Structure 1
């Protein structure tokens, strides 16, 4: 079965050379089925730092209510509140600026906490502290800019729900 997975060129080389050749065995072990190009790393690996030994216990982070069930519950409440806030302006038939502002603020909070969770989960503090800090600051700046843009759109233009209504009817 293993000979089926190997390419025909590899089988021809194996038949032409003696089996005692160590370079052939080493090259055959590196060959994989259906791989025709060499592996190229796009980014260099992160700095490797080993703390402790194999017999040490795993490091447990300090308990924090902002990274536990309260944070998860807040995210779920914001996500669940988006459903009635999205439907209410269209179902009621009236355009209320307060309801529109509440919808914009909830969408902004939902997006900010979602991207913050991605940064916290995939950019570890102990391996890349500067990159994580830069990403958090970038997220805060982007949230502030989007919040300002939504405020300007709500006060100086038609608003989010009216814009959606116009696009839907176009």
Structure 2
């Protein structure tokens, strides 16, 4: 287990995303290579990881449709989570939690839990009372989500490609009503 490290959580602006693009790429690259099923499959390069942040997330942050929180260990970016608040007019109360990641070298220190608790506060600040997410069925994150009060809405078999193997993995759809 890694030595317990102090960390802080901050919301990343578009300028921050540009500043941290290499570290964000490092984080995503390391998580995918460690087996995270977060939308990417092998081969997956550092350039692919940085391109995801620059092409997909930066514009969403610029338009205020996605909020990105980062866990910082000093100057090092060691974890992130996203909140998609770009919902349809009949869903102003809802948001989707996406891409919870903690660098493999920093896992087991409560960083993922802290990011999730903080993203819930951010959701409430944006008057969101229902959060949804999906996670690969049986993944290590599933017990974390249930421990935080997320409930299983259902499982969809054959939802996505496994990052390493030629097979389809199921996903578990979860939700939480905020108080």
TM range (shorter): under 0.3
Q: Looking at CA atoms only, which structure, 1 or 2, has the larger radius of gyration? A: 1
Relative contact order (alpha carbons < 8 A, sep ≥ 6): 1 or 2 greater? 2
TM-score using structure 2 length: 0.27
- Going by fraction, where is helix more abundant, 1 or 2? 1
